[in-house]
Amino acid sequence: MITGATGFIGQAACEQLLARGWAVKGTVRSSSQNVAGLPAGVIPCSVDSLGPGTDWRAALSGIDVIVHLAARVHIMKEIAEDSLMEFRQVNTHATERLARMAVQTGVRRLVFLSTIKVNGENTGNRAFTEEDMPNPQDDYALSKWEAEQALKRVASDTGLDVVILRAPMVYGPGVKGNFLRLLQAVQRGMPLPLASIHNRRSIIFLANLVEAIIICMTHPQAKSKTYLVCDDEHMSTGELISRIARALGKSAKLWPFPAELLRFAAMLAGKSSEADKLLGSLLVDSSKIRSELNWKPSASLDRGLAETARWFLQAQSTSS
């Protein structure tokens, strides 16, 4: 069963699992009964709004492995009065509820997609590892860290096999959020003052992440483990923009500007967290999953960007 099956990662996971011969259920929100986003061949299963009272029983019937992707993600313009409560309802309480009901129905393993933001927001020159002390710095990351802890409690209480994956920014066909905004900025030829930024950031291509998820579903050595995943290449924001531009057949419009002044301007505009994502370093060490599960990214950065650019340009031409 894939929760969040109609999402960016969920659709890709469903398609790959079907191609490999799995029978796949995908959860959809019962309030909308909308199955249009499910890949053909996925068995739709309706669930209520996610929270501590969600009834997962019908969805869990006959399931031996869960991939839990459904989440309340970071929102650019938060309108909730208590955003932490809203994040906890979906990301923490619904996850624990799912795990406890999974035990009752005989599920063998639950793979939970968490976030590298559990480790923190900035690494400097040292990469995050699974052994680092968690340091979540926003409501989304905190709710994911609390979900991880809840899953470990359930595993300890019941013997449920839980595998946790922490991923950095994911890109690929269908991407949204900050990466989509970068694509749009480069396509428009927007001048970006990032030529002087010498940070280092890890990212992961959608297909590579899905391969890691599938390995974690099946590999016996993944039992009760937490893994960090990322692509092979780590680069500055400016280099990433240049590679995106090349994939789009454009010239990158980068010009130098002092990082300190960019941070100051972002602070004045109330955009410090957004600036950190562009200017700071976030490095991921994925050596543990590579050595223990023999996982390695099959797609290079250039291939991933080429596939993403193809999707983006096609979507633009379709919408126009």
The 3-class secondary structure across 47-89, one letter per residue, is ECCCCCCCCCHHHHCCCCEEEECCCCCCCCCCCCCCHHHHHHH
Active-site residue (options: 112, 128, 140, 179):
140
**CA distances in angstroms from 101 to 1, 4, 111, 155, listed in the order given:** 13, 17, 15, 12
The letter for the amino acid at 117 is K
**Could you tell me which residues come within 8 angstroms of residue 185 by beta carbon, excluding any fewer than 6 positions away?**
192
Pick from 13, 70, 14, 9: nearest CA to 43: 14
The letter for the amino acid at 130 is E
| Known catalytic residue at 171 | no
Return the C-alpha torsion angle 152, 60, 10, 52, nearest 10.
-60
Buried b (16+ CB within 10 A) or exposed e, 251-260: ebbbeeeebe
φ, ψ for residue 59, nearest 5 deg: -65, -30
Active site residues: 140
